[in-house]
Structure 1
């Protein structure tokens, strides 16, 4: 049997050796001003690389398309049922001032060209649009614009009013012969943010001013924003047949606009939502009536 002092001697040696062995401090436990400068730079480069990798990973995870919902589980309504609920929300309001609005949600990518156009609906929604026509005074275009119902017609005098901030119109059309004078006036900074600057793409720089004014007064301008196209589609007094005719015309035109884009861009109508000035939106299922829909005369006028 071994004597106790033999084990105590080995234990004491191992303990003392561990106590007097040099200890390397952890870099994280040392105060910053005692931390070697080279080690700080090395850690900084490592952390910046890791942050860069995380940022690139997050960028890759970003979706290139707008969020889409499964319409199989959505609660949808026929046109007449949606009109009935919307009219209940708008009870007591003037039917000629409240507007039905339609929202077309598209299946499309976030980048690429957008749909923008002008459309004259079968049943005019807003006939009180004030139209300004840029045309030389006394010219044939100016006379046609005045005959078609343009509210403001002219060139230099109109330019001065716009520069002074007197913009009393909701739409602006320019005759092709006056486009150069319009560009020289430098009104893009004033009319551009308001969406009133005439443009060939928008169809507001034309040769036949009379037809353009008539279409503008009874038409609607629409533009895709964040994968959604939204325009007024009818007045609250409209009958289901009138509203359905406007909806069909608008959806058909949007499909034509999508087909006219390049082959590399795919745009499809994913959902049609009907709302109004003060009512929430109701997703439409494509049917005009259901078994519980009220008669058409109950949804027309007041």
Structure 2
């Protein structure tokens, strides 16, 4: 009888090949799992970021709240309610504010301008003018009511933390000196750094001082323009005149850029320093409005 060892070669030929394959698979299994993970990761990374997709799919226009069911007020009625919230406040410092919401696209130019009111709102503003000492501009700025005029004295005061002004205007001849003084890091965060875009770098500094003392600078932010339009001591007629001038100017600003982006007034909200915001309906008075004489007495 043949020894069982005679069958080993044939048995090995039948078994070992499959064993070798199995061993090879086991030896590369860890690497295969890594490759599979990398493949899955690559597939995942190719997907679009959900946050980015959401931004891309959002409306190109700013979304505005529907005014269909919103209560709206005549100007005199809004003044009546707002003044009730401001009882006991100083009428010479408490201000009426208007928030003008625009129908506008997210991209494109924004409205930014300067407005002089028929009835001055910010006459308490302290205006500083940077211009060459001894120049004609210096004399004219002082005559127009500037609180501080100069160059080096102003620079030194700002560097020492003494900023005794609310607005800053610069003459083009002093712009280089202002830039060399490196005051941007101090004045920039306070919104005081002069710029040609904001109309605070001008040749006729006296005219701009006069305008700033009786008006304000405004800028559109997220399709809303917000600015003070009157003091609590104003009569309804004075507030109406300032509001009308504001809306007329903003319509002109929008018309000037309508070839680039279409903008139109969507909602006008009147509020105050401490009071609520009330949407206006465009009327001056209603049937239930108190007399303007009563609203003019504090």
Q: CA 1:135–1:34 in 2, change beyond 3 Å: closer, same or farther?
A: closer
Question: What are the within-5 Å matches in structure 2 for residues 50-69 of structure 1?
Answer: 50=47, 52=48, 54-69=50-65
Q: Is the 8 A contact 1:96 1:236 kept in 2?
A: yes
Measure, in 2, the Cα distance between the counterparts of 1:177 and 1:292: 57
The change in CA–CA distance for 1:55 and 1:71 in structure 2 (over 3 A counts) is: closer
Q: Distance in 1 between matches of 2:158 and 2:180?
A: 14
Show structure 1 runs of 5+ residues with no match: 1-32
> Residue 196 of structure 1 corresponds to which residue in structure 2?
192
Indicate conservation of the 8 Å contact 2:82/2:275, yes or no.
yes
> RMSD of aligned C-alpha atoms?
1.8
**Residue 48 to residue 279, structure 1, CA distance change in 2 (3 Å):** same
CA distance in 1, matches of 2:77, 2:117: 23
Higher mean C-alpha deviation, range 69-78 or range 225-234? 69-78
Q: Deviations over 1:108-150 (max 9, x none)?
A: 1222211111111000112110000001111111111111111
How far off its partner does 1:46 sit? 2.3
Distance of 1:296 and 1:271 partners within structure 2: 24
Are residue 139 (structure 1) and residue 142 (structure 2) matched? no
**What stretches of structure 1 move > 4 A for 4+ residues in a row?**
none
The corresponding residue for 1:95 is 91
Choose the corresponding residue for 1:38, options 8, 30, 35.
Answer: 35
Shift of 1:34: 9.7
> Corresponding residue for 1:49?
46
Alpha carbons of structure 1 residues 174 and 55: separation in structure 2 relative to 1, 3 Å: closer
Aligned residues: 270
Counterpart contact for 2:108–2:260, Cα < 8 Å: no
The two structures have a TM-score, normalised by structure 1, of 0.84
Matching residue within 235, 240, 247 for 1:239? 235
**Is the Cα contact below 8 Å between 2:131 and 2:150 reproduced in 1?**
yes
Residues 290 and 191 (structure 1), Cα distance of their counterparts in 2 relative to 1, 3 Å cut = same
Question: For residues 53 and 206 of structure 2, what CA distance do their matches in structure 1 show?
Answer: 56
Q: Structure 2, unaligned stretches of length 5 or more? A: 1-29
Query: What is the alpha-carbon distance in structure 1 between the residues aligned to residue 206 and residue 81 of structure 2?
Result: 40
Structure 1 CA distance for aligned equivalents of residues 139 and 78 of structure 2: 45
Structure 2 distance, partners of 1:195, 1:150, is 18
Residues 169 and 62 of structure 1: CA distance in aligned 2, closer, same or farther (over 3 Å): same
Distance (whole Å) between structure 2 residues aligned to residue 40 and residue 260 of structure 1: 57
Structure 2 counterpart of 1:263: 259
2:113 counterpart residue number? 117
Q: Distance in 2 between matches of 1:154 and 1:95?
A: 34
